[in-house]
Structure 1
Amino acid sequence: VGGAWFAGDCAALSECYSAGSQYSAAPILPDPLVLPTVQHLRESWDDYQDAVEDDPEVGEDGFIFDFAPDELHKANISGATHEIEMVQYVADPVIHGVTGRSGITLVEYLRVSISWGGMPGWSFKPDQAPAALAALRVRPDF
């Protein structure tokens, strides 16, 4: 499975990453869907293994995968990441760091993302969502 990167410039959706922090006065951050590749996960795991080999204390908290940039980074504002703790073998892990969605799992995050045309942040202010987003919205069947 490849990755997905919906962050960036899209005038029809009022997305303009290259303009800088244009969302600082906006009522909502759209949080465009970003999914990492399996290769990114593999490289992160290899880096973690190397770090643990050099310093065993690094491994005390387990492997934390930087899953995607957070909604601030996606809006070209300094932020953090959405993270998944890879300490348990679960099919639907919790994604940490998603503003307004404490405890959301990967599958639920994908559902809300797809149902909002890849821009789940607009679910917090649906009446302010760009009109062009309506054509992209779909109710997922998973």
Structure 2
Amino acid sequence: MAANVDVLVDRLSSAGYAFACPDAVRQAPTEDDFEAIAKAEDIIGPLPVALRACLEIVGGVDLCGDGGSMLPYVRYRAPLCESWELDPDPLVLHSGRMLWDMLSSSVGEVSLGCACTDPDEDELCEFHVNGFFFSIAPDGAAKANFSGGDHHIHLPTANPDPPLGPIPVSGSISLVEYLRRFHAWGGFPGYATRPAHVPQPALLERLRNQLQKF
């Protein structure tokens, strides 16, 4: 998956794709990410195998941007020229550092006292009651620079390939299946459900043919 991300970034850059956040397009995992993941696991426990691989091998990705005529409907800052009939859903993945930032913000109450960690406390904190929802990526609306939500993983979990929610597909979808959707559609899986009158962009077909299966 990491190699595929590198190919996507390189080909989109060569095609003149206008990334919304150029500094965040590709963030390979760093020592800071590894340390953040370790700190998170001290609280959560072992991360699912699929999530750990995503954070420690793939890292941060942000393909949001403006596709112009080569990738119609992909927009972030450009005016909305087409009706809202297609959500391209460009690939975005949050980093290990983001995991720790979200977790530390969410479960700060653990340090204030919890029956799990302090014998003098009678009640469990919010984290030990409901767990933690890690936002691994924004949803399609947020990726188009509209007010939106996210796709999250509920932690802790013993499932090595945990489901994501909420996802606009029938049934549930695991993290690996989620990533395979991006592979199958060149980083923009929203085109899989395009209306019949919307053609598949030629650039998207070229991107799909250059990615390795996993």
TM exceeds 0.5? yes
Number of aligned residue pairs: 141
Distance 1:23 1:81, change over 3 A: farther
What TM-score results when the alignment is normalised by the length of structure 2? 0.59
- Which structure's CA Rg is the greater one? 2
RMSD: 2.3
Gaps of at least 5 residues in structure 1 are none
Give the C-alpha shift of residue 88 in structure 1: 0.7
Extract unaligned runs of 5+ from structure 2: 1-56, 114-123
Q: Is 1:16 aligned to residue 75 of structure 2? A: yes
Q: Which residue of 2 aligns with 1:28?
A: 86
Percent identity among equivalent residues?
35
Structure 1 residues 82-116: Cα deviation after superposition (integer angstroms, max 9, x where no partner): 11101213221111022225411110011111110
Give distance in 2, aligned partners of 1:29 and 1:105: 20
Amino acid across the alignment from 2:176: V
TM-score (norm 1): 0.85
CA contact (8 A) 1:68 1:83 kept: yes
Runs (4 or more) in structure 1 with deviation over 6 Å come to: none
Question: 1:124 Cα shift?
Answer: 1.2
Superposed counterparts of 1:45-124, under 5 Å: 45-54=103-112, 56-59=124-127, 60-124=129-193
Query: Which is further off, 119-128 or 50-59?
Result: 50-59
Bigger CA drift: 23-32 or 110-119? 23-32
User: How much does 1:130 deviate?
Assistant: 2.1
Amino acid at match of 2:108: D
Structure 1 contact 7–33 (Cα < 8 Å) conserved = yes
Bigger Cα displacement from structure 2, 112-121 vs 82-91: 82-91
